[in-house]
Amino acid sequence: MAVGQPSSAPLPSIHKTLEANWGLLNQSFAPEGGTVTDVTELQKELLGLMGTYRDVHFTNSSPLREAKEVRSAYCLHVLNHVLKANTRVLRNNAKLKETKDVNVEFRDQGITRPKVLILVPFRDGVLRVVQTFITLLEPKGKKMDVSNKKRFKEEYGEEPGESPPKLHRPDDYHAIFSGNTDDHFRIGVSIMKRSMRLYSPFYSSDIIIASPLGLRTVLGADGEKKRDFDFLSSIELLIVDQADVFLMQNWEHLLHVLKYLNLQPLDSHGVDFSRVRMWNLNNWAAHYRQTLVFSAIQEPQITNILTKHCHNYRGQVCSKTIPKVGSICQVLVQLPHVFQMFHSDSFMDQDARFQFFVDKILPQYRDSVMSHTFIYVPSYFDFVRLRNYLKKEDISFASVSEYSQRSEVSRARHYFQKGEKQFMLFSERFHFYKRYTIKGIHNLIFYGLPTYPHFYSEVCNMLQAGVREGGGSVSFTCTALYSRYDMHRLAAITGVDRAAQMLQSKKTVHLFITGEEKNT
């Protein structure tokens, strides 16, 4: 599916409870006093695809643009699914009361009640999802009964004065980190026709909204006595929102949660087995589960969720974003960019990258003339490996990662800017969470291409900061390492046509120059 092209799937039928409000899908994020935009083409396209109950992987959910529309669309789909399922159960309950035929049976339930699992990275995401639920369910002119609303606002809202001072950060940073950014939470939600209960016990909930970390502490690990995962046995709809942010948290937590979805429960939890669907009893629930994954980028680890952990018999649909112009066009500083390709046998072959860097790249920068060299490292495992190597070789360097104390960061920045340390080792996650401008960079090395394409231009543009303060003329260099398995990241930085040429070329070194009238 190409983004922006109309989907052939028609809009699904909407439950009567949602009929009055579903057109106001975008009300929850309309500016106060502003007009509510109609359901967008993107939302219609997504709703049509969701209504087919195939798995969907949408890779263009930018926090600045599409993310709000995407959230509203999946919230409508979730409520539509839950209300239809609950209505079916109530209708069948009434039929069973009326009939005298003992052989009549209605298999309309899972073994446990929770039907939907929504995974979001921060508490603010839960707040926005619940606000959208209320907007869609609330009758016109009436207030909907929401249990535990006060407690919810206290625990998931942002306290007055809690937000940090307005720092100079990119817009996407403010979009991702607005509101409550705690990443350890889980909450059950039960939906009635005209009311909603927050903090319902998991086994009495229709929907569970959680972070992977929040769920992992309940799921536990093999050998632990106190653990529970039965509530995930009958999940019919899984939503992974902002999947790219999970990459910047701890991806292992997400994989751990996926491992425990749709397993046969260890306890019956008081279920009436005569009402349980056969595919739940036969341990086929995973084949009937719909998974919706939304991310801002195309990334093999995210795609792997659908190829390895999703078994929907209806199939799947993936969007493809084709970047005609790469983020290198956002680099403002005059800079030669040397892209060096190395041979690698697989996407996970970290040894080949390390050996190429140690043998071919690092020796060029060992001379004191090449001081002020900044090494950007996307993977924390690679960061640790490089740090250990530089220590062993007794190379003068400072390092900054997401685990560095504030005082360590200040010292490292100072030593690097003054040239007292020749190298700075810098982790991508630190940049994601802090977006500090590092001054004093003369030589830039991308040990791996950034996960987010705009990080490439952001880091390159840091070179300007040193020029503004120093005043003197400095010649800059930039070297980026890539392999044939970096196609998506390379295309997002250089543009898809250039990336294809670079990967097909017999040459392993390619030069681009920014800051002039044309990139070459």
pLDDT in tens, 414-443: 999 999 999 999 999 999 999 999 999 999
Cα(503)–Cα(485) distance, integer angstroms: 10
With tokens 């969701």, the residue in question is 50
Strand partners, 191: 196
Specify the 3-state DSSP secondary structure of 239.
strand
Q: At what angle do helices 66-98 and 41-50 cross, to 10 degrees?
A: 40
Q: Which of these, 149, 164, 126, 156, lies nearest to 196 by C-alpha position?
A: 149
Note whether 120 and 211 are within 8 A (CB).
Answer: yes
Q: Which of these, 393, 298, 380, lies nearest to 57 by C-alpha position?
A: 298
Evaluate the CA torsion angle 199, 203, 207, 212 in order and state its sign. Answer: positive
Question: Which residue type occupies 207?
Answer: I
DSSP per position, 358-422: IIIIHHHH-SGGG-SEEEEES-HHHHHHHHHHHHHTT--EEEE-TT--HHHHHHHHHHHHHTSSS
Cα(350)–Cα(513) distance, integer angstroms: 28
Residues with Cβ < 8 Å from 400, sequence gap 6 or more? Answer: 408, 409, 412, 413, 424, 425, 426, 427, 430
Cα(406)–Cα(419) distance, integer angstroms: 20
CA distances from 406 to 31, 148, 231, 462 (A): 36, 38, 41, 20
Cα(461)–Cα(437) distance, integer angstroms: 9
Domains of the chain, earliest start first: 16-99+113-159+182-221+228-318 (3.40.50.300), 327-514 (3.40.50.300)
394: left (phi over 0), alpha (psi -120 to 50) or beta: left
pLDDT in tens, the chain (520 residues): 444 444 567 888 898 888 888 877 777 666 555 556 678 899 999 999 999 999 999 999 999 889 999 999 999 999 999 999 999 999 998 988 888 777 778 898 999 999 999 999 999 999 999 999 999 998 887 888 999 999 999 999 986 555 555 668 899 999 999 999 999 999 999 998 789 999 999 999 999 999 999 999 999 888 788 889 999 999 999 999 999 999 999 999 999 999 999 999 988 888 889 899 999 999 999 999 999 999 999 999 999 999 999 999 999 999 888 888 899 999 999 999 999 999 988 877 889 999 999 999 999 998 867 789 999 999 999 999 999 999 999 999 999 999 999 999 999 999 999 999 999 999 999 999 999 999 999 999 999 999 999 999 999 999 987 665 555 667 899 999 999 999 999 999 999 999 999 999 999 999 999 986 544 4
Specify the 3-state DSSP secondary structure of 139.
coil
44-68, pLDDT tens digit by residue? Answer: 999 999 999 999 999 999 998 899 9
Evaluate the CA torsion angle 425, 431, 437, 441 in order and state its sign. Answer: positive
Cα(263)–Cα(291) distance, integer angstroms: 16
Specify the 3-state DSSP secondary structure of 160.
coil
Q: Which of these, 385, 369, 507, 355, lies nearest to 443 by C-alpha position?
A: 369
Q: Where are the beta strands (DSSP E) in 72-179?
A: 116-119, 145-147
Relative to beta strand 423-427, strand 373-377 is parallel
Sheet containing 207-210, strands listed edge to edge, beginning at the edge strand earlier in sequence: 145-147, 195-198, 186-191, 207-210, 116-119, 237-240, 290-294, 55-58, 316-318
Length of the chain: 520
Give the DSSP H/E element, type plus range, for residue 317: strand 316-318
Residues with Cβ < 8 Å from 474, sequence gap 6 or more? Answer: 442, 466, 467
Q: What is the mean pLDDT of the chain?
A: 90
Q: What's this model's pTM, rounded to 2 decimal places?
A: 0.93
The CA-based dihedral angle spanning residues 143, 148, 151, 156, taken in that order and rounded to the nearest 10 degrees: -70
Residues with Cβ < 8 Å from 116, sequence gap 6 or more? Answer: 78, 81, 82, 206, 207, 208, 235, 236, 237, 238, 239
